[in-house]
Structure 1
């Protein structure tokens, strides 16, 4: 585990993990801001939520790895 204020893009620059970080996008889905990766079919796979609401983390629709479609 790495605790740092340095952006992950800089920490993992030039690595396979760094390439994955660049693929991520910040999106708003149903009023919830999250980090996700666009799939080849245009849908998104949730990577993490960016919220201070603890109830969102308990909602199964927003679990990391879930596939969502933006309309």
Structure 2
């Protein structure tokens, strides 16, 4: 793969991992979340093939899950 960009390879493909990131099922849908310092989950990404899921306000990125 050839990338035509002024960025370095390390900026495009960082080696560090986000250890707080988890993949869970919430209300029957797979989502990617970050665990906050308070122990709650913040939605990062909805992983779905159904376009209707993305119209649901419950799956807005940045939302804190109850």
TM-score (norm 1): 0.68
Query: Distance between the aligned counterparts of 2:27 and 2:44, measured in 1?
Result: 16
The count of corresponding residues between Structure 1 and Structure 2 is 55
**CA deviation string 1:1-42 (max 9, x = no partner):** x8xxxxxxxx211xxxx44x3321101111110000011222
Aligned to 1:6: none
Query: Distance between the aligned counterparts of 1:42 and 1:56, measured in 2?
Result: 25
Structure 1: gaps spanning 5 or more residues = 3-10
TM-score (norm 2): 0.72
Aligned to 2:35: 38
Identify, as 1 or 2, the structure richer in helix. Answer: 1
Larger Rg: 2
Structure 2: gaps spanning 5 or more residues = 4-12
